[in-house]
Every structure is written in C-alpha cells, then in structure tokens.
Amino acid sequence: MPTFAAVDVGSNSCRLRIARVVNHKLKTVAEDREVTRLGSSVFDSGLISPEAMSATLRALKRFHRTVQSHGVDKIRLVATSAMRDARNGAAFQAWVKAETGWNLEIISGLEEGRLIHLGVSNLEPGAAGRVMLLDLGGGSCEITLSDKKHIKETVSLPLGAVRLTEQFLSSDPPTADSLAQMRRLIQRELRKAHRKLQPGRVPLVIATSGTAAALSDAWVAMARSAKGGAKSGKTASLGVVPTSSVRALAKKLSKMPLPERETVAGIGPRRAEIIVPGAEVYAELLESYSLAGFRYSPLGLRDGILEQMLVAEDSRAREHAEFEHERWESVLATAKRYGVDIKAAEPVRAHAVQLFRDLKPVHKLPAEYEGWLAAAAMLRETGKFVNHQGHHRHTQYIVSSSEIYGYTAIERTIVSALARYLGKSRPQPNDRALRNIPADQHEKVKRAVVLLRLADALNQDRASDVVRVRTKIYPKRVYLEIEPGRTGAELELWSLRREAAYFREVFARELFCTLE
C-alpha cells in the first residue's frame, strides 16, 4: 500500500498530512501544523524575513522526521501566495532543498484553487452539486464556482489575512480610518471578481482554512451562549454560518484589542492576530454575492494534493479515468491556445506512445513518461506562436510556464524539456531546460527525447497519409520497419536514419530503419 505526504507551505502556516492508500482510497495516518507567518514581511517589503524562513524550516524539518518515520513513498510540497510574491523565494527554495532534500514547488493562485476544489469536491458531503468554494489564506483568497464536481470558474484575489494585516492594521485595535481603507481595497478586488465570476443562485457555499474555522467556531459558541448552550434553528443544524452573523462578528472583533480577541471562544491567540481582516473579507464577499452564509470544511489544499497523487498513481481509483480525461483536455486546450494543428500533431503523439510501448525493454522508462511523451508530442510546436525561428526554445518556455491541469511544476518542466530537444540541440546537464529537473531524471529525459525525435521523424511528410512502423529488438540492435503511405515514406526514412547516431549514443544499440 503506497503512502503519500502533502505539505502546504502557506503564508500563515505550514501543514502536513500523510495518507496511506487502502482499497484505492486515502486513509490519513498522520498530520501536523505550525504557524510560521512566512508572509509576515513579504507583503510589506517583498522579502521573506530570516526569522520567518528559520521558523518555516524548523517546521519542515519536523515534518521531514515524521515523513521518514511513516515510510512515505511520494511527497509533494507546495508554496502559495507569500512565495509567489517574495523576491528571495528562490533562495528559500534552495535552503529547503539543502536541509531536507525536498523540492518546494510554487503554485499559482489558480492551481491552488483547483487543488482545493479537487479535495473538497471528492471528499466533502454535498459538494457534488452547484457549489461556491471559498479559501482565505494568509496571502490570497480563492473563489471557485463548481457544478457537478467540475470547475466553472476560479478567481484568486490578493486578500489574505496576513497580507491585509500587514498593509492596514498597524494599531490595536484598528482605527476607523485604517478599517475604511482596508474595506475599500476589499471592495475593489471583489468588483474585479464579479466581472469574471457571476455564480447566480448557489445552494451551498463551502469555506476552508483557518479563518473560516475560527469564524464558524466563534459563531457556534455565540449561538450556544445565546440559547443556553445549544444551537437552534434550521441554519444552525446544518452548520451554515449566516452572513448576518459573519458581519456581526466582523464588527465586534474590529473594536476589540488583541487581548480581548484572544479570549473569544473559537478564535485562539494566533488567529486573533489576523482575524479582523479575515472576518471583513468574508463579510464583504458574502454580502456582495448575496449569499446566505457558508459551511466550514476542514478539507483544503493538502487534501487536493493527496487526491491528485491517488488518482494519478492508482488506475483503479474511482476518479482516475476522469482525472486522465481532464488532464488530456487541458493539454489539448493549451495546444489550441497557441495555434497547434491538432490533426497534424495527433500522428506524432500516436507514434510516440507506440514507440514507448514497443521499446520498453530498450528505454526502461517509468510508466509516467508515456503520458509526458504524449503531452510533449502534442505541444511541441507551441513555440511557433511566438516565432518560427528558434521555436523549440519558445516551446520550452511556454509549456513550463503554462497552467496545465494535473501536472506539477516539475512534470511540466519535464514535458517542456522533451519538446525542447527536437531541433539540432541535445540535452546537456547544464542546460536551462534541465535546470529545474531533478538530476536523477536527466538520463530518463534524454531517453524519452530519443523516442520523441523518432516519432517526429516518422511524420515529416505532412502531405502523405500516416506511415506505420513495426519494431524488432535484438541485444545489440533495433529495427524499425516502415510501411509507406500512399505517397511513400522516403523523407521519413531519411529522417529516421539521421537519428541512428544519437540512438546509439543513448541506448548503446544500433538502429536500422528499412522500408517494407
């Protein structure tokens, strides 16, 4: 049973969850959380402070010991808003790598919203219908509209609780002027959200993360106190925090100094430091969209990361087929966005997949490279959108920088490197295209590049119909037997023979190409 770990390095706190696959589902075996305030100085100075780096690294080292003790097979670390904004983010990534051996991946706000949606929609009861998801973290707020577990729209706004605290609330309690300035910014950002996301009627609003948890707990405590210790009414029984109660909490908390906020049931000492802007964002957001309230869910980014690991690795997991379909649709959408002729690219993809399967005893690549090869084949000409000259370099940049559903940053970088080396250049360890790929993948990338170059060579004559190829493998040589199309295959044969020297260099076997 494989064991996965997910680490969310947020602007306010770091969170770890470890889960084991049991009967094609995830079972949590350990979790941890530490408030590190990574974004405490970023939103003011643009730099992560040494103190915040040290605090975060201490938490990650503790997580590392936990991960090792549970024999984790695969781990993914993602960083969000603070790292997106920090000018010294790369230095911190290098420090994390040196101290733990882990690659810290910085994800976009849209990817953050997508992963949260994946976790909540698959695991939260009632989330399969039309739902609005709200996630307010330390640096940003993600709003996602979902219908039947499919994302309709996602918006990421710079309205995190730590960010707004640093920008506006220097006094305690906050002054009326600073609160007014903060509200104007929140309202301005929400007007931008309304231009992109117009949900109409939404039966259910689900909110995740610490601010939502604190507001929900505080509301429960207020309701119990008001009714002699028990919640009452239909809304309370459903666990939905009414918008009017959120507004009342926002007003109440904004008038309290920190020591008083710390005593409010459900808030807690660390959350009390940043609860005022968090409550204000929720109140403004719910009112601006005319929403009745929200239901808190303890699920979040870590759960989405783990869910993606599960559906990507376990072909028998319930959502695996849907995940693969949506991932490929995202590849096609990216190709179309940059003017790729899908019909012309499809035979290259088909030949790349065929060669991967037929030549497994030769290349010995992990199974995931088959999908990466297919994606690279489909995206290999996106660079022509920028310029035909040097388009392979442009392709590498476009693919590695694009939002492609279901691919981590390292996976996108590998796909971009495969598409990069279809011209005269060959992969070299110090190349820019390989710089962000783990060293243990470099040789695998080189082998996959050979397969994609062969697939590309098999599709040189765009005017002819698609050629067919058969493979024969011997200890010291490989034969590719080409069945010509109606207009022959001389150009393809010539192109394949040009790859023989590189094939020999990589696989230590001779490549012979013949026409049937």
Quick one: pLDDT at residue 462?
61
In a domain, residue 312? The reply is no
Residues 147 and 289 in one domain: yes
> Across the chain, what does the average pLDDT equal?
91
Tokens of 516: 């049937």
513 in a domain, yes or no?
Answer: no
Beta-carbon neighbour count of residue 198 at 10 Å? 10
Same domain, 272 and 235: yes
- Tell me, yes or no, whether 280 and 202 share the same domain: yes
Q: Pseudo-torsion of CA 456, 458, 461, 467, nearest 10°?
A: -140
SS (H, E, C) 199-243: CCCCCEEEEECHHHHHHHHHHHHHHHHHCCCCCCHHHHHHCEEEH
| Domain annotation covers residue 251 | yes
**One-letter amino acid for residue 448 of the chain:** A
Q: What is the pLDDT of residue 72?
A: 96
Q: What are phi and psi of 26, to 5 degrees?
A: -95, 135
Where is the domain boundary, 48, 72, 107? 107
Main-chain phi, psi angles of 10, to 5 degrees = -90, 175
Residue 20 in tokens: 């084991």
Residue 463 has pLDDT above 80, yes or no: no
Residue 191 DSSP class? H
CATH assignment of the domain containing 79 = 3.30.420.40
Shared domain check, 355 and 279:
no
Does residue 469 fall inside a structural domain? no
Which phi and psi (to 5°) does residue 167 adopt? -75, -35
In this predicted structure, what is the pLDDT of residue 312? 85
Its domain, for residue 412, covers 319-462
- Both 129 and 260 in one domain: the answer is yes
pLDDT > 70: what percent of the chain?
97
One domain for residues 147 and 288: yes
Q: Which of 426, 446, 462 is the last residue of a domain?
A: 462
- Residue listed under structure tokens 């889960």: 19
Q: What is the pLDDT of residues 414-426, one digit of tens each?
A: 999 999 999 888 9
Task: Report yes or no on 497 lying in a domain.
Answer: no
Would you give the DSSP letter of residue 195? H
Cis amide leading into 173 (omega within 30): yes
pLDDT at 489: 86
The stretch 322-346 carries a mean pLDDT of 92
Domain count of the fold of the chain: 3
pLDDT in tens, 273-313: 999 999 999 999 999 999 999 999 999 999 999 999 998 88
Per-residue pLDDT, 264: 92
Q: Examine the domain organization and report whether 85 and 149 are in the same domain.
A: no
pLDDT > 80? residue 41? yes
Q: In the listed set 107, 134, 154, which residue is the last one of a domain according to the structure?
A: 107
Pick the closest to residue 294 from 229, 209, 206, 354 (CA basis). Answer: 206
Q: Are 52 and 176 in a shared domain?
A: no
Is a pLDDT exceeding 80 seen at residue 317? Answer: no
Please write the tens of the pLDDT for every residue from 190-205.
999 999 998 888 999 9
> What DSSP string runs through 60-97?
HHHHHHHHHHTT-SEEEEEE-HHHHH-TTHHHHHHHHH
What pLDDT does residue 236 have? 41
In a domain, 281, yes or no: yes
What is the tens place of the pLDDT at every residue in 441-454? 999 999 999 999 99
230 and 342 share a domain?
A: no
Residues 196, 266 share a domain: yes
Q: Are both 17 and 146 inside the same structural domain?
A: no
Span 158-181, average pLDDT: 93
Greater confidence (446 vs 40) lies with 446
pLDDT, residue 390, reads: 87
**Assigned token pair, 369:** 């490279």
Transcribe 330-383 into DSSP letters: HHHHHHHHTT--HHHHHHHHHHHHHHHHHTHHHH---THHHHHHHHHHHHTTGG
DSSP state string for 272-321 = HTTHHHHHHHHHHHHHHTT--EEEE-S--HHHHHHHHHHHHH-TTSTTHH
CATH number at residue 339: 1.10.3210.10
Looking at the fold, whether 458 and 324 belong to one and the same domain comes out as yes
Q: 495 lies in a domain?
A: no
Residue 437 has pLDDT above 80, yes or no: yes
Q: Is residue 316 over pLDDT 90?
A: no
Return the minimum-mean-pLDDT range out of 8-17, 94-103, 110-119, 459-468: 459-468
Residue 235 has pLDDT above 70, yes or no: no
- Distance (Å, rounded) from C-alpha 182 to C-alpha 43? 14
Query: How far apart, in Å, are the Cα atoms of 329 and each of 72, 117, 138?
Result: 31, 18, 32
- Check if the beta carbon of residue 190 is closer than 8 Å to that of residue 288: yes
Give per-residue pLDDT as tens, 337-393: 999 999 999 999 999 999 999 999 999 999 999 999 999 999 999 999 999 888 999
CATH number at residue 170: 3.30.420.150
Res. 233: pLDDT tops 80: no
Say how far apart CA 492 and CA 142 lie, in whole Å.
49
Express each pLDDT in 123-149 by its tens digit.
888 888 899 999 999 999 999 999 988
pLDDT of residue 436: 85
- 311 found inside a domain: no
What local confidence, expressed as pLDDT, does residue 24 receive?
86
